[in-house]
A = this chain, B = another copy of it.
Amino acid sequence: MIDADATLKALAEPRRREILRLVGERELSAGQVATHFDVSRPAISQHLGVLRQAGLISERREGARRIYAAIPGRIEELNEYLTGFWGEGLAALKVAAEAEQRRPSHSAD
């Protein structure tokens, strides 16, 4: 199972979502990513670190450069996690509602 907490915290930041979108289109060096934003390069470097620790992007060394790219499949895993912990609840609600219809004398709390 993915680290849902780290993944959601990483995605909760608009700038990081934009970075992820960029490296999802094509792999980019840290400096290339930084040129797309008005913030300083160290700020981007920190964002990249958060995304990498969350397992959303990969890092590859190429000389002095660091090339980053989105890791395929992570979003699907997150979707499965989210659907999972909500899907069970919805199923339970549905079953409860149907049972309720067949037992109108049921005294709820």
Q: Which residues of A contact B (CB under 8 A)?
A: 4-5, 8-9, 11-12, 14, 17, 20-21, 24-26, 60, 69-70, 72-73, 75-76, 78-79, 82-83, 85-94, 96-97, 109
Contact B87 A24 (CB under 8 A): yes
Q: What is the copy number of this chain in the assembly?
A: 2
> In the complex, given contacts A12-B12, A21-B89, A70-B86, what are 15 additional A-B residue pairs having Cβ atoms less than 8 angstroms apart?
A8-B11, A8-B12, A8-B17, A11-B82, A17-B85, A24-B87, A24-B88, A24-B92, A25-B89, A69-B93, A73-B94, A73-B97, A75-B82, A75-B90, A79-B83
A109 interface neighbour in B25, B60, B83, B94, Cβ under 8 Å: B60
